[in-house]
A and B are shown apart, each in its own frame.
Chain A
Amino acid sequence: MEVFLQQLINGLTLGSIYGLIAIGYTMVFGIIGMVNFAHGDVFMVSAFIGLICVLLLTTVLGMSSIFLILAITLVVAMLFTSLVSWTIERVAYRPLRGSFRLAPMISAIGMSIFLSNFVQVAQGPRNKPLPPMVPDVIVLMERNGYQVTLAYKQLIIMAVTALLLVGFWWLVQKTPLGRAQRACEQDRKMAALLGVNVDRTISLTFVIGAALAAVAGVMYLMYYGVVNFADGFVPGVKAFTAAVLGGIGSLPGAVLGGLLIGLIETLWSAYFSIEYKDVAAFSILVLVLIFMPQGLLGRPDVEKV
């Protein structure tokens, strides 16, 4: 019971990070029907931007307020990561839009390799550590010598994620911008006929996805305290799995899928085998693709065509 509770907390934390990344996959897929294979690496880049920012703030500027550091780092990472993703879309995807369907995805694989290699060369191949940022924990309960704890950083991750999702939901559902985004997702040609600048809306989608991934990247860095140039791949594929599990194209699906993948991974590690946790996650991808290709919250097909 205690173990379960602890893994629940850990799983939801990890799941929040996956969910934030998954939104970027699902939005881009929704609007232009491509899997942005570089998105995982964009996430990794954001963690590096976060790392550099934290180090600058603490060592060069000598800042000590952890919340201020975190807030500034989040903003900086979101800005720079958005810029990276915006640029990638402009130079590597947009010129291929009229081309055959696989062309932008191949380009995306290229961008993925480019980003991880670039970071490997620029930052070195080894793990980059960060001094522990928020070490405190809250002991929720203690029984038979087993403590169930909620670390402050877990609390921060879940709270920031929840807050961000509320804001993001409002943006997509209630603002003209979000409406234009959804219109493009459903019928780009018609959206253009209503005066929507489709190219700009697609750019915006990449920017929003990257900003959310950047928050995930900073959270990841804070949570694990290290980051490595190869760290884009596995979390990236897991977040993609989350998007597929939730129903690709569905925003609530991406979040739900992320939380589920996070939970499955931690529970599997606790009860079965930690070595096979990735196998478990990817087996789910295969099973979902076979038995439930539309995912948990995939589009209901009540519409006329």
Chain B
Amino acid sequence: MSAPAETTEAPAPARASEPRGAPLLSVAGVKTYYGKIIALKGVDLEVNEGEIVTLIGANGAGKSTLMMTICGSPQAREGRIVFDGRDITRMATHDIMRLRIAQSPEGRRIFARMTVYENLQMGAAIDGNAHFDADLERMFELFPRLKERINQRGGTLSGGEQQMLAIARALMSRPRLLLLDEPSLGLAPLVVRQIFEVIRDLNASEGLTVFLVEQNAYHALKLAHRGYVLVNGLITLSGTGRELLERPEVKAAYLEGGR
């Protein structure tokens, strides 16, 4: 394991809007319901520009619900979500995404009957495929596997290839905020490492802001600048990645034998 911990203390290069000091994304008192069932019971968190923030939590804690609520599907019933100074709580999903939030959602949701190429085109749809060719080359550098599979249908890719495609598709929109829901799910350790490295590189070199949900708590917290723990629809802990890794509650609940 190379040493990601060193990078965690220092935030990535500042971007234009940072001097304002306002977070890029702020979630305040958000409650989300599925019918009568409450899934988020008042979540508060922030993601600053240039950060990698990790959210960990048990199955059913509401992590995916939070990711989707940020994207307006379902919408929060109470609370406020602000992205880049704009209240997006009541905006339609497609309008939110057009503010350059991208999500690689739970279950990957690759378009099975479209080719890899078409899936990537869909990723770039919001700006009319203006930078498509250049960005495509970049994705090929990040994920050479996709180049070999470019004309294959999405539904016939392996799980790992689908995950790479899901991340690449999200990146094709040149997002200001990248939401990743369990990018390591079901992947071989080597592929997990590769994907985490891609995330770290993009953050370090381009200042890409990432909000990450992970079961793989050890690696995800090591990768992150900061982290949150979600339990039963409420944030119970927060801190830098390193702090959280030291907390006994985190060790007991999310890290098996220290890992």
Contact = CB atoms under 8 A, between A and B. Distances in A.
Contacts of B109: 187, 189-190, 193
Interface string A162-197: 000000000000001001101100110111111111
A198 interface: yes
Interface in B97-128: 97-98, 102-103, 105, 109, 111-114, 118, 121-123, 125-126, 128
Contacts, number: 78
Contacts of B122: 179-180, 183, 191, 194, 196
Contacts of A195: 94, 97-98, 125-126, 173
Nearest to A187: B109
Nearest to B129: A176
Give the residue among B118, B122, B123, B155 with the most A Cβ atoms within 10 A: B122
Contacts of A91: none
A192 B111 contact: no
Interface string B13-32: 00000000000000000000
B114 A186 contact: yes
Determine chain A's interface SS by DSSP, over half rule.
Answer: helix
Contact of B73 (A180, A186, A189, A299): A189
B251 interface: no
Interface in A175-224: 176, 179-180, 182-183, 186-187, 189-198
Interface size, A (range):
20 to 34
Contacts of A196: 94, 122, 125
B77 interface: no
Contacts of A176: 121, 125, 128-129
A304 interface: yes
B153 interface: yes
A296 B125 CA distance: 33
A303 interface: yes
B83 to A, nearest CB: 14
Given A189-B73, A303-B112, A198 B94 contact: yes
A122 interface: no
B156 interface: yes
B235 interface: no
A302 interface: yes
A295 to B, nearest CB: 16
Contacts of B159: 304
B118 A194 contact: no
Contact of B173 (A190, A194, A197): A194
B76 interface: no
Given A193-B73, A193-B97, A193-B103, A179 B113 contact: no
Nearest to A196: B94
Contact of A186 (B94, B111, B129, B173): B111
11 contacts: A180-B122, A183-B111, A189-B109, A192-B73, A193-B97, A194-B169, A194-B173, A196-B94, A198-B94, A303-B153, A304-B155
4 tightest Cβ-Cβ pairs between the two chains A and B: A303-B155, A195-B126, A303-B112, A190-B109
Interface of B: 71, 73, 92-94, 97-98, 102-103, 105, 109, 111-114, 118, 121-123, 125-126, 128-129, 153-156, 159, 162, 169, 173
Interface of A: 176, 179-180, 182-183, 186-187, 189-198, 299, 302-305
